[in-house]
Structure 1
């Protein structure tokens, strides 16, 4: 490896990737006017953990395991969210439309009034046929690979 590709620098690169993902999400929200659903917010927390792990990697190479866990966690949530958006499975009842079968008019009205403003089973934006949740999953899997490289290079003592 070159002197620049140290385990610490690789971990910082992965953390910067998660920071970029958070900045993009906030940009879509605050500049683009796309309010996040509950599952979108869930996907942000592991990225924040990975950014923290990047900072901790300056102290200990073991922090890369925390970053790897964060990247895999947000990829998993993004994958689940993608399935909800595509109708492959139901999402949490707190952020999807759910079934209205067998509801009385009063119960239906209560369900409508209690529904969140932004639903998890609708795609507000997509690029190349992939939603933000899908892109988060793919990019996060790539970041997990970078974290794994940081771990492997630290084990080799590079």
Structure 2
């Protein structure tokens, strides 16, 4: 039970910290940044399920969800390094196609941040590790931890 609760806390902590970094550190997320958060919510839900029932499979599924976030982070790093473009339309830099009326500008405002995905967000100035890189490391570590803890759980 303690292992599932630990994974749930660590999984829920990742998107909450990312959301907090927007206000605490003034970091604007891009669309890929937002996509990286969803698998952590899934991982946390699976881990919470593991607190009550099916601990071993729930921890494995939580680890898989964390690995998905790490994979999105790896893809995001490729976009940041210019190895490939992002297929998401929200990742492109906003451009103005000439003079726009006030109504057109208001319609063009997106409810989510419009920071281009190829501009890295650095939490620690001077450290050449973007938030996407940190997510890759964190997601992979959480996945490995969840899988190792699942292996230690007794079969039911």
Which of the five TM-score ranges fits, normalised by the shorter chain?
Answer: 0.7 to 0.9
Match of 2:97 in 1: 109
Deviates more, 1:82-91 or 1:148-157: 148-157
Q: 1:93 to 1:145 in 2, by over 3 A?
A: closer
- Say if 1:11 and 1:146, in contact at 8 Å, map to a contact too: no
Pairs within 5 Å for 1:3-152: 8-58=1-51, 59-61=53-55, 62-97=57-92, 109=97, 117-127=114-124, 128-152=127-151
Long gaps (5+) in structure 1:
1-7, 99-106
The alignment's C-alpha RMSD in Å is 2.4
Match of 1:101 in 2: none
- Structure 2 Cα separation of the partners of residues 22 and 96 of structure 1: 19
1:156 deviates by 6.3
1:50 deviates by 1.0
Long gaps (5+) in structure 2:
99-104
Q: TM-score, normalised by structure 1?
A: 0.77
1:150 deviates by 1.9
Q: C-alpha offsets along residues 24-62 of structure 1, whole Å, 9 cap, x if unaligned? A: 101111332222111111100000011111210112212
